Amino acid sequence: MAASGRCRSHRLLLLLLAALTAAAGEEAARQAAAPAAGCGCGSSRGGDGGREAAARRYSAEAAAGERAAGRRRMVAIPGGVFTMGTDEPEIQQDGEWPARRVHVNSFYMDQYEVSNEDFEIFVNSTGYVTEAEKFGDSFVFEGMLSEEVKAEIHQAVAAAPWWLPVKGANWKHPEGPDSNILKRMDHPVLHVSWNDALAFCTWAGKRLPTEAEWEYSCRGGLENRLFPWGNKLQPKGQHYVNIWQGVFPTSNTAEDGYKGTAPVTAFPPNGYGLYNIVGNAWEWTSDWWVVHHSADEAHNPKGPSSGTDKVKKGGSYMCHKSYCYRYRCAARSQNTPDSSASNLGFRCAADSLPDLQ
Ligand SMILES: *[C@@H]1O[C@H](CO)[C@@H](O)[C@H](O)[C@H]1NC(C)=O
């Protein structure tokens, strides 16, 4: 893909558009684009003692791997019927409406967003290479970059002032080659495309949630509420979600404790025991994107059979009510399946618990 300049710039344009419409500066972008809408055990040093030590280390790693890969971290979501979407859409053009009755079968949902540690275990055991690594770059919110890095690439981004295509940015290097995830192993993995997310979930014996499953999970058993915990953003003045405080994109006061992502275990869980189902990082779902929905009652809807973009839900640490009021359960946005960015991750679902649960 990177070999073809034409294909490459086409993808960059798509990424720019997708990042624009999807993550930040969404209103301006919308006006402009007007959418109708290895084994991981290291090298053996030789000698039986070394091999034994390596085997011990490996089995400890494998046990940790199973845990961290989320096999013990799913919650049962009881089947039922809920109101999906809303008749009081905050962002009309996103197709948050109409409110419709949707039946969902029982399933399992990851309690946490997939973390850098989880993803590293997957990469260690499979050698998987993400799309951002293959393409050689990914989109990074400029607020996370140094002045030097920004100055180098700024001319390329007149159309997307706070989304910069950063060479060498990928899940291991979220803000480019000089950054790394070492102090953020428990934060959500970022710069993973929809295809990457699907590969991870498949490896873990899981799948991506449908949008309906995701939204049902988000609502945590509550009906018609804005947020997973109710209608008030900060009950008793407490922060329940990692979003933006201050003036976007210039001033991030991080009153919730985080300028960028937070650990996947941060903040109180919702009624189903799910953490950070809104805010922190956007989460991929399995559905193709469409903005017009039937108001008819539906059973286990899976979205259209084809499309160009995939639905993502939940908003991110970059969202503020003033320009990205998308940390609501009904809110939604989209990206092409090969897109990646510094605010987009995922969690997996499953029909039954994977083997090692
Ligand atoms: C992945 O493999 C590397 C190299 O062997 C190791 O240092 C690292 O701890 C492994 N990561 C996890 C999360 O197990």
316, 338, 337: which is closest to 325 by C-alpha? 316
Backbone angles phi, psi at 326, to 5 degrees: -120, 20
∠ CA 253-229-193, nearest 5°, is 65
Please tell me the residue having the least CA distance from ligand 1 atom 8: 40
Which protein residues touch ligand 1 with a CB less than 6 Å away? Answer: 40, 42, 61, 117, 120-121, 124
β-bridge mates for residue 80, sequence order: 104
Give the side-chain half-sphere CA count within 13 A for 352: 2
99, 309, 348: which is closest to 214 by C-alpha? 348
User: pTM for the full model?
Assistant: 0.83
CB 130 within 8 Å of CB 44: no
300: alpha, beta or left? (left if phi > 0; alpha if psi -120 to 50): left
Rounded Cα–Cα distance for residues 56 and 158 (Å):
53
CB 217 within 8 Å of CB 209: yes
Rounded Cα–Cα distance for residues 190 and 7 (Å):
24
For residue 209, the 8-state DSSP code is P
Sheet strands side by side (includes 74-77): 74-77, 107-110, 349-350
CA 355 to chain centre: 25
DSSP 67-114: HHTTTT-EEEE--EEEEES-SS-SSGGGT----EEEEE--EEEESSPP
195 C-alpha to ligand 1 centroid (Å): 23
Of 39, 45, 61, 182, the residue with max ligand 1 atoms within 8 A of its CB, to mutate for a pocket test, comes to 61
Ligand 1 atom with the smallest distance to the CA of 41 is 5
178 C-alpha to ligand 1 centroid (Å): 19
121 C-alpha to ligand 1 centroid (Å): 7
Backbone angles phi, psi at 11, to 5 degrees: -65, -40
β-bridge mates for residue 110, sequence order: 74
CA 168 to chain centre: 20
Tens digit of pLDDT per residue, the chain (357 long)? Answer: 233 333 333 344 444 444 444 443 333 333 333 222 222 222 222 334 444 554 444 455 555 555 555 445 899 999 999 999 999 999 999 999 999 999 999 999 999 999 999 999 999 999 999 999 999 999 999 899 988 888 777 665 555 668 899 999 999 999 999 999 999 999 999 999 999 999 999 999 999 999 999 999 999 999 999 999 999 999 999 999 999 999 998 899 999 999 999 999 999 999 999 999 999 999 999 999 999 999 999 999 999 999 999 999 999 999 999 989 999 999 999 999 999 999 999 999 999 998 764
Rounded Cα–Cα distance for residues 175 and 149 (Å):
9
